[in-house]
Amino acid sequence: MDTSGRVTRHFQEELEQLKTQLLVMAGAAEEQVHAAVLSLVDRNHNLAERVLGGDGPINQFHLELDERCFQLLALHQPMATDLRVVVSAVKINSDLERIGDFAVNVAEASLRYLRHPAVKPLIDIPKMADVAQGMLRDALNAYVQQDTVLAEAVLDRDDTLDGLKDQVFRELLSFMLSNPTVTEPALELILISRHLERIGDHATNIAEEAIFIVSGLDVRHHAREGAVSDDR
């Protein structure tokens, strides 16, 4: 059905639009993560509030992209790699929407944290945010450009993120033990580090999809086995 040059070209254009929209959505999600962590570091209430309000556009993207994928499948009935690209887009869309939710969770925790004096200068949490944002950006580019080398590098960085998360946990636990008055704000920081870890997990999912599309190689449950053992 889909063999005329005109229809095929039209489909390829639609596919490019889909990828562009995913990139824009990922940019919005990354911006939300960045702002949420910046609100924490700079003790900026207004910025945290802005993140809470900034989830709407991402949710709107989520609905539109889901519908766009559905229409592409229904109208063009793509095959082989094109089909994989569209099915992956459905999953990546869900991952990006969840990342937007986690950014909101970070901003909410940031607002609660700001009711207390600072527990300590924040170093590892901004570092986690940087790693997670970089993973997200590279994972999306790997998907769009079908670049498995870039995607593999994302998988590697998930261990860095896990290491930082464990470091944050140990350090804050020792703070709480030596000074119980910081227990509540320290807990918020631990929860924030968990949200950032999950963002990395979703970026990892996206990178795995990118690898799958190109190589047909399903790396999902091999890549993960090693990382699971001391995962809090």
Residues near its own copies, by CB under 8 A: 1, 52, 55, 59-60, 62-63, 66, 69-70, 73-74, 77, 79-80, 83-84, 87, 90-91, 94, 101, 104-105, 108-109, 112, 173, 176-177, 180, 183-184, 187-188, 190-191, 194, 205, 218, 220-221, 224, 228-232
Nearer to its own copies, 66 or 171 (CB): 66
CB of residue 224 vs its own copies: minimum separation in angstroms?
A: 8
CB of residue 232 vs its own copies: minimum separation in angstroms?
A: 6
CB of residue 195 vs its own copies: minimum separation in angstroms?
A: 10
Do 36 and 107 form a contact (C-beta atoms < 8 A)? Answer: yes
Do 100 and 30 form a contact (C-beta atoms < 8 A)? Answer: no
CB of residue 158 vs its own copies: minimum separation in angstroms?
A: 13
Residue matched to tokens 């990118």: 210
Nearer to its own copies, 47 or 89 (CB): 89
78 DSSP 8-state letter: -
Nearer to its own copies, 114 or 176 (CB): 176
Nearer to its own copies, 149 or 197 (CB): 197
SS3 of residue 226 by DSSP: coil
Q: What angle do CA 172, 173, 179 make, to 5 degrees?
A: 85
CB of residue 108 vs its own copies: minimum separation in angstroms?
A: 6
Q: What is the rounded distance in angstroms from the CA atom of residue 212 to the CA atom of residue 85? A: 10
Nearer to its own copies, 130 or 191 (CB): 191
CB of residue 180 vs its own copies: minimum separation in angstroms?
A: 4
Q: What is the rounded distance in angstroms from the CA atom of residue 66 to the CA atom of residue 69? A: 5
Do 36 and 106 form a contact (C-beta atoms < 8 A)? Answer: yes
Sign of CA pseudo-dihedral 161, 166, 167, 171 = positive
Pick the closest to residue 40 from 106, 99, 101, 98 (CA basis). 106
Nearer to its own copies, 32 or 205 (CB): 205
